[in-house]
Chain A
Amino acid sequence: DGGITQSPKYLFRKEGQNVTLSCEQNLNHDAMYWYRQDPGQGLRLIYYSQIVNDFQKGDIAEGYSVSREKKESFPLTVTSAQKNPTAFYLCASSIIPNTYNEQFFGPGTRLTVL
């Protein structure tokens, strides 16, 4: 089955701890994205990557880091510098080049700070 997988589904972080969220896709999509969703809010872009070994900051990149060493993988690290990390984290991918940029989402990771 083609799709986007995210792990873990639930993640608990202690204060001062870095955690890494996994995102893998087998759709052969070029572009991958990380979003954050807070309760009752829309999605906000953290980072995106259109090609291997290259990525760009989104609107709320502070306290986060990413890597894109393989086309199918785009892990997100939530660092201790992110002061309010409790949120629902969503990974998405899309075909590039594509004028329309239809993005498809993984199932998400819910992160809670203890």
Chain B
Amino acid sequence: QKEVEQNSGPLSVPEGAIASLNCTYSDRGSQSFFWYRQYSGKSPELIMSIYSNGDKEDGRFTAQLNKASQYVSLLIRDSQPSDSATYLCASTSGSARQLTFGSGTQLTVLP
């Protein structure tokens, strides 16, 4: 069974701090990794994709991938209360490149 594991949290950080979200995956054949943000009662929104080892930055978001350690992380710099949401990590697996999702980490940014 291919798995994606995340700390469920909740994770609380003060406004302006860096929030660090972590994810591990079991399928060494996974090629693509995604971070989705899900506000309460809403559908997931894709915020970051990463395919190669190293860092990928987009605005206040940085995704980090380490395939040797099977580890993906998301850093949110200068956290804002509007970043308060559940963050879902996902990876692709199989010939159909299906997504496997973690259970999500709930982030609260305190004003």
Surface stretch bound by B, among A14-22, A68-76, A78-86, A104-112: A104-112
CA distance A43 to B6 in the complex (A): 13
Name the CB-closest residue of B to A99.
B31
Cβ of B97 and Cβ of A42 under 8 Å apart?
Answer: no
Q: B20 CB to closest chain A CB, in angstroms?
A: 20
- The bracket for how many chain B residues form the interface is 20 to 34
Given A102-B46, A105-B45: A42 in contact with B98 (beta carbons within 8 A): no
Whether B13 is near chain A, meaning CB under 8 Å from some CB there, is no
With a cutoff of 8 Å between Cβ atoms, the chain A residues found around residue B34 in the complex are 102-103
With a cutoff of 8 Å between Cβ atoms, the chain A residues found around residue B51 in the complex are 99-100
CA distance A58 to B94 in the complex (A): 12
Cβ of A40 and Cβ of B31 under 8 Å apart?
Answer: no
Cβ of B98 and Cβ of A107 under 8 Å apart?
Answer: no
CA distance A104 to B45 in the complex (A): 7
With a cutoff of 8 Å between Cβ atoms, the chain A residues found around residue B96 in the complex are 48, 50, 56
Residue of B32, B42, B45, B102 near A42 (CB, 8 A) is B102
18 A-B pairs with CB atoms under 8 Å apart are A42-B103, A45-B98, A45-B99, A56-B96, A58-B98, A90-B43, A98-B97, A99-B32, A100-B97, A101-B99, A102-B32, A103-B46, A104-B46, A105-B36, A105-B43, A106-B43, A107-B42, A107-B43
